[in-house]
Structure 1
């Protein structure tokens, strides 16, 4: 865990060093997510770099024919450093970048707890931790509606083992107060 924190500090430092004076990202976007119910706050830390902090509820259902069906709502937390990579091209083409509308690469840390806050489905592990290098896109429209899609390779850890795989993350929701620019 110390290595992950050290790597995150190094990555954040690199983004700060590369920051330019003209900030293209929003100073702060408070978003409500509908697909994975939760809230997130994305704020600019550089010219094209943001930090996205999120709290969410994951849903799980386990059942089948001839057996009981169990479900659970599991709380989770995420922190993600995003570097937007196509703002200049979008601006040259006359396209919108407000609401951090663009494509990005990111370093995602995500933790979900194994004990439900609602429901009776208990996981074997007390926690699940993901660390992912992702490519994503985010689009924010005038009335505040937004969607996002991200995917990439990652390491998935629980208290028993660690595995590698691909994370696919879809977001749909609203920016509270609409986009700011």
Structure 2
């Protein structure tokens, strides 16, 4: 009987010993910053919803080239899926540094420069995968990619596939 008790205590002590090495890491409560991309500038805020999920809101000016710069509003729930793994390895997680999966919803306001001045609005729904890493205490970079649906509102309403590429350098306040 003493051998069974001793073996049980040995197994349980090793279990509790390993469980102390794991940390329950969390995203930050609120992250505010500005970012600059290839063509555009954005201000953003990430609000904590749970230990790994944030709601990112974004406003900015962006376009595919310098002739088509448009105001943009975006709302994006992000799941930072490797926060615990990064914390356990001793890597930085401050400023929500990690890999994420998100569902980006963005709305672009556009007034064409053509003679008939047709107003065009774009609504995009794009699942994305991306990374965010810190450079020093306040600077960071992001890279992301996704494919989704776009709804175009001009003279005739259209729905089509759209791609999303995110390459930004930013400053976190």
Q: TM-score range by the shorter chain?
A: 0.7 to 0.9
Q: Which residue of 1 aligns with 2:71?
A: 75
Q: Which residue of 1 aligns with 2:165?
A: 168
**TM-score between the two structures when normalised by the length of structure 2:** 0.75
Distance in structure 2 (CA, Å) of the matches to 1:171 and 1:60:
14
- Point out 4+ residue stretches in structure 1 off by more than 6 angstroms: none
Q: Which residue of 1 aligns with 2:3?
A: none
Distance in structure 2 (CA, Å) of the matches to 1:168 and 1:150:
6
**Any conservation in 1 of the 2:134–2:141 contact (CA below 8 Å)?**
yes
Secondary structure (helix, strand or coil) at the match of 1:90 reads helix
Q: Which residue of 1 aligns with 2:152?
A: 158
Q: Which residue of 2 aligns with 1:44?
A: 48
Aligned partner (choices 57, 60, 84) of residue 53 of structure 1: 57
> Structure 1: where are the runs of 5+ without partners?
1-21, 63-70, 177-181
> For 1:8-157, what aligned pairs fall within 5 Å after superposition?
24-35=26-37, 36-59=40-63, 61=65, 71-115=67-111, 120=113, 125-157=119-151
Q: 1:60 to 1:162 in 2, by over 3 A?
A: same
What do you get for the CA RMSD once the two structures are aligned? Answer: 2.2
Report the structure number with the largest CA radius of gyration: 2
Q: 1:95 to 1:23 in 2, by over 3 A?
A: closer
Moved more, 77-86 or 137-146: 137-146
**TM-score between the two structures when normalised by the length of structure 1:** 0.72
